[in-house]
Amino acid sequence: MRRFLKSSVYATVGLAALGLAGVSQAADSLTVVSWGGAYTNSQINAYHKPYEAKTGVKINSEDYNGGLAQIRAQVEANNVTWDLVDLELSDVIRGCDEGLLEPIDHGILPAGDDGTAATDDFLEGTLYECGIGQIIWSTVFAYDASKFTGDKPSAIGDLFDTAKFPGKRGLRKTPRVNIEWALMVDGVAGEDVYETLSSDEGVDRAFSVLDRIKDDVLWWEAGAQPPQMLADGEVSMTSAYNGRLFNAIFKEGKPFEIVWDGQVWDLDLWGIVKGTPNLEQALDFVKFSTDTQRLADQTKWISYGPVRQSSLPLVAEEMQPHMPNYPENFKTALQNDFEWWADHQDEMNERFAAWLAQ
């Protein structure tokens, strides 16, 4: 089940590749944009604070809810105020194609602590022309164990079964993951999900499954919402990012249980906004934050898997079972097909918006 996309390694020419670091004045601050909450907290502790201590450069952290709209607006207005953005893979591909992101020469990345060249140390499918991978994460669903006295949810189909498990459901307000899950619940094998979605009939099938629970769904947009919805009893179960749930369970003591069946896993990558005046400093931060130690350090704060092979031995043993790519968790995992989403995101968003409005 575990597979990684073939890596796309590009040779790009930039300031760093030409050895021109230091020609222009170093930035005294960088604006780094991410998803907030426990995830950003892990980056602050593993990346930002050590980098500030090492370089004296101030890291200004901002939050967003994903997508390219704000990046596109800044680039088109020639008023770039974000330097680096934590992006999902399909947005890296689209942003690169649209000229919204700077190319990053993979040759600037440091070798692994064991001496392995970076391009061999990073897992396949985690280095792209305009994006450098950081973590493997997944969308799962969870329930409050204290609210279930009999049978408990154990499979992705239970999320859609409001007869067996009554109550509201929390789902992210986006077609992504929801339409994949809908087909899996309807009997489509994981390896056939995206082929099925490539036909009008397949998309119709997915939305017909979503119709079954539409009236019972509370939609969320920010990653902090689903654990709070679960804690407040607004929903009986909800989709969520696995790291957010880990934080709620182990840092806040919530009685939540994660169901790993059918998890949809993905990557987060650093992208540099095209036209940033702080390009050299941004490249330096990318190098620092994706070295062996920093990626391993992040797992002290959140249960997302590092993308460097040399980082894995440095992950604490007790953290391993909470990683998306832990073998027991990965049995029925589905990898997000970034190419499919890069090609179909706009039409799926339009279809989803129209469906919501019905």
Q: What is the pLDDT of residues 33-88, one digit of tens each?
A: 999 988 999 999 999 999 999 999 999 999 999 999 999 999 999 999 999 999 99
Long-range pairs of 67-72 with CB within 8 A, sequence gap ≥ 24: 67/91, 68/94, 68/95, 68/98, 68/100, 71/95, 71/100, 71/101, 71/273, 72/98, 72/100
Q: What is the pLDDT of residue 200?
A: 97
Rounded Cα gap, residues 324 and 27, in angstroms: 36
Whether the pLDDT of residue 10 is over 60: the answer is: no
Instruction: Say how far apart CA 276 and CA 282 lie, in whole Å.
Output: 9
Between 291 and 309, name the one with better pLDDT.
Answer: 291
The H or E element that residue 182 is part of is helix 178-185
Least confident of 58-62, 139-143, 288-292, 337-341: 337-341
Domains delineated in the chain:
29-136+267-322 (3.40.190.10), 138-265+333-357 (3.40.190.10)
The closest of 83, 116, 125, 99 to 283, measured between CA atoms, is 83
* pLDDT at site 25: 54
3-state secondary structure of 272: strand
Average pLDDT, integer, range 108-130 = 95
Structure token digits, residue 80 = 């770039």
CA–CA distance, 172 with 239 (Å, rounded to integer) = 7
Q: Find the mean pLDDT for residues 106-123.
A: 96
- What is the reported pTM? 0.74
- Give mean pLDDT, residues 274-287: 98
Confidence check: pLDDT of 145 > 50:
yes
Per-residue b or e along 1-12, where b marks 16 or more CB atoms closer than 10 Å to that residue's CB: eeeebebeeeee
Contact residues for 179 (Cβ-Cβ < 8 A; gap 6+): 197, 203, 206, 207, 210, 348
pLDDT in tens, 210-259: 999 999 999 999 999 999 999 999 999 999 999 899 989 998 999 999 99
